[in-house]
Amino acid sequence: MAKYKLDYIWLDGYSPVPNLRTKCCIKEFDSFPEVADLPEWGFDGSSTQQADGSDSDCVLKPVAVYPDSTNSNQA
C-alpha cells in the first residue's frame, strides 16, 4: 500500500470575499485513489461562517482527485 496526502479545499462563508480553506490528511491506498475511494471529512462550520453554533457540523465531500505534480511518490 502507498501513502497519499489528501488535501480538502473549499471556500468559507465570509462576505464579501470568501477565504480559501484547507484540511489535509495522509491515507493508504493500494493504488492512486478514485473519488469514490476518498472519505468524507467533517469540520466546524461555525468557525468558517457556514453554520450556526447550535448546528455547526459540516461535511466535506470529495468531487475530484488530482495527482500532485510536485510529489514524485504519486502516480
Domains and CATH numbers, the chain: 2-60 (3.10.20.70)
- Contact present, 43 and 25 (Cβ < 8 Å): no
Please count the other Cβ atoms lying within 10 Å of the Cβ belonging to residue 41. Answer: 15
pLDDT per residue as tens digits for the range 21-75: 999 999 999 999 999 999 999 998 998 989 887 889 999 999 999 988 887 665 5
Whether the per-residue pLDDT at 11 is higher than 90: the answer is: yes
- Of 36, 49, 41, the C-alpha closest to 9 is 41
Q: What is the pLDDT of residue 53?
A: 79
Helix (H, G, I), strand (E, B) or coil at 70: coil
Q: What is the pLDDT of residue 74?
A: 53
pTM of the entire structure?
0.80
Q: What is the pLDDT of residue 55?
A: 83
Residues 6 or more apart whose CB falls under 8 angstroms from that of 49 comprise 12, 13, 14, 15
Which tops the pLDDT comparison, 15 or 68?
15
| β-sheet bridge partners, residue 5 | 26
